[in-house]
Amino acid sequence: MDRLIEILEDIQPDVDYETCEDLIDGHHLDSLSIISLIAELEDEFDISIPAVEIIPDNFNSAARMMKMIERLQEEF
């Protein structure tokens, strides 16, 4: 989780990723940030994020992202 927070802070530093639950719905991350984030997550965690996983529910909080990452790592 720490590495995920570091990646998020590199992309958008002015957000409290420990507590924020509306990263997408609250417009803390825009579409370009999401594209960068997906590329970083795929590289860092050795996963492939299919288009069907790119939904607000999976990206609204760091905790949800981590759950998606762990699930994708298990499936791989």
Q: What structural domains does the chain harbor?
A: 2-75 (1.10.1200.10)
- Rounded to an integer, the average pLDDT of 38-59 is 97
pLDDT at 16 over 80: yes
Query: Exposed e or buried b for every residue in 51-72, given b needs 16+ CB within 10 A?
Result: eeeeeeebbbbbebbbebbeeb
Model confidence band, residue 52 (pLDDT cutoffs 50, 70, 90)? very high
Three-state SS string over the chain comes to: CHHHHHHHHHHCCCCCCCCCCCCCCCCCCCHHHHHHHHHHHHHHHCCCCCHHHCCHHHHCCHHHHHHHHHHHHHHC
Model confidence band, residue 74 (pLDDT cutoffs 50, 70, 90)? very high
